[in-house]
Amino acid sequence: MAIENRMETMAPSRENAGSKIARHATVLSGQLQQLRTRMYPPKSEKMLRQFLTNEVSKLTSIPDSTLKLMSSEGRGPVPSRLENNHRVYTLAQINELRELFAKQKPSEALRFLPRRRQNEHLQVLAIANFKGGSAKTTTCVHLAHYLALHGYRVLALDLDPQASLSAMFGAQPEIDVGANETIYAALRYDATERRPIREIIRKTYFDGIDLIPGNLEVMEYEHETPRVLAQKSGTGAIFFERLKLALAEVEADYDIVILDTPPSLGFLTLSAIYAATSMIITVHPAMLDVASMSQFLLMMGDLINVLNESGAQLDQDFIRYLVTRHDPNDAPQSQVVAMLRHLFGADVLLPTAIESTAVEAAGLAKRSLYELEMGQIGRDTHKRAREAVDAVNESIVQLINASWGRG
Ligand SMILES: Nc1ncnc2c1ncn2[C@@H]1O[C@H](COP(=O)(O)OP(=O)(O)OP(=O)(O)O)[C@@H](O)[C@H]1O
Ligand SMILES: [Mg+2]
């Protein structure tokens, strides 16, 4: 710790609670900033790894042999070579291959390029639960990466002032996200400062995923909304419609919007639920978490009724519970999972997000399992975790496809 910081921690002889907390906040945030800079230097731009031919084949359903033949005949994107001469492709090149094959085989185009068609509506998926740490953000990141790797166009929207989703995409909330650069800019009530949503969308290092980052600024919406409601001031639509209307402006650019919500049931979460065409409620299978989710559901039910009374139409394609950080060998957890399945039946997704040191370690490095190369974490651990996450994502994609009327 810097000497100046240590000096600041020495309290003046009489100090009131407000100035003490403010002082602690300053020294702590200074210290955290230093630690973060050391562990994750601000200049360390995130980059996505490249993919081996067998991975590309799995992702695109283009046979290995075809890829190799194309590359040796000089057709299609030119892969780089690793030291051992293996071919590797960037995600942008994988997407080029998709376009190529969809064009060549129009009757199978959907298999190569699964983007939504004109008669299929934008899917807005909210990941919610006010229980902190129920793996909302981890679920969002893995789903976004999975979708982009499979050729979908994704918008990831961070509605949480903690901004962990933004951090996972390399946008550090205190450093990289300035004033009026979060979703608040598109929702705010003062027309002079409000910005079109398109202006605050950023490209990410992950081909196919755009981001609207968050930081503390999004809290302004929680403070402003009750004031505007009480004074009947502000311009534009009522609070719960604003997010939905903003998203409609960029509808044509995406297949799926993923909303990462804060661990609270405020105006932002409510706006997310209203804008959403589907919802995943993440739940860690422990009694306390389930009790907390029960409160969440009760409150959400009440709030949705209030919205309905003010003329809102909530009509979602699907709502599912996802069991997260699941340890299948833990007997009490198994009882909770059994209870949830008994109560909610098919509304609980069959695959569960297995608790894994691989997910945790990847998270610390601000990565998803999809970004790790085999060998970065114990091979078996990585493989098991990856299979579990794939199964969860695949079941969500099936629901999305069903909402589009695809068989
Ligand atoms: N399957 C898993 N295995 C191991 N650790 C996990 C798993 N899923 C999530 N975690 C870890 O649990 C912690 C909480 O996860 P996450 O941040 O996704 O939760 P959250 O619901 O978004 O939290 P918050 O309510 O604060 O937004 C993180 O440290 C994350 O790495
Ligand atoms: Mg989170």
**pLDDT tens-place string over residues 140-185:** 999 999 999 999 999 999 999 999 999 999 998 888 899 999 999 9
- pTM for the predicted model, two decimal places: 0.90
Determine which residue's CA is closest to atom 2 belonging to ligand 1. 355
**Nearest ligand 1 atom, CA 354:** 1
Percent of the chain whose pLDDT exceeds 70? 94
Instruction: Give the pLDDT of residue 5.
Output: 47
Q: How far is the CA of 362 from the centre of ligand 1 (A)?
A: 11
The ligand minimizing its distance to the Cα of 281 is 1
Q: In whole angstroms, what is the distance from residue 275 CA to residue 307 CA?
A: 12
Percent of the chain whose pLDDT exceeds 90? 72
What type of residue sits at position 341? R
Residues with CB under 5 A from ligand 2 (ion): 136-137, 164
Q: How far is CA 206 from CA 32, 169, 199, 259, in A?
A: 27, 8, 19, 17
**58 and 133 housed in the same domain:** no
Q: How far is the CA of 229 from the centre of ligand 2 (A)?
A: 28
Q: Does ligand 1 have an atom closer than 6 angstroms to the CB of 136?
A: yes
**262 and 285 housed in the same domain:** yes
**396 and 273 housed in the same domain:** yes
> Which residue, among 94, 103, 108, has the nearest Cα to 59 in the 3D structure?
94
pLDDT digits 0-9 by tens, 26-51: 898 788 777 766 655 555 578 899 99
Q: Does ligand 1 have an atom closer than 6 angstroms to the CB of 160?
A: yes
**Ranges assigned E (strand) in 122-247:** 123-128, 154-158, 202-203, 209-212
What type of residue sits at position 291? A
3 located within any domain: no
Q: How far is the CA of 140 from the centre of ligand 1 (A)?
A: 10
Determine which residue's CA is closest to atom 13 belonging to ligand 1. 133
Single out the residue in 112, 136, 159 at which a domain terminates.
112
**290 and 374 housed in the same domain:** yes
Give residue 108's domain range: 51-112
pLDDT digits 0-9 by tens, 47-105: 899 999 999 999 999 999 999 999 999 999 999 999 999 999 999 999 999 999 999 99
Q: Does ligand 1 have an atom closer than 6 angstroms to the CB of 353?
A: yes
Average predicted confidence (pLDDT) for the chain: 91
- Between the CA atoms of 67, 142, 314 and 224, what dihedral angle is there, to the nearest 10 degrees? -130
4 located within any domain: no
> Which residue, among 383, 140, 176, has the nearest Cα to 261 in the 3D structure?
140
11 located within any domain: no
pLDDT digits 0-9 by tens, 256-305: 999 999 999 999 999 999 999 999 999 999 999 999 999 999 998 888 88
**203 and 91 housed in the same domain:** no
Q: Does ligand 1 have an atom closer than 6 angstroms to the CB of 356?
A: yes
Q: How far is the CA of 261 from the centre of ligand 2 (A)?
A: 7
- Measured in residues, the chain has a length of 407
**191 and 95 housed in the same domain:** no
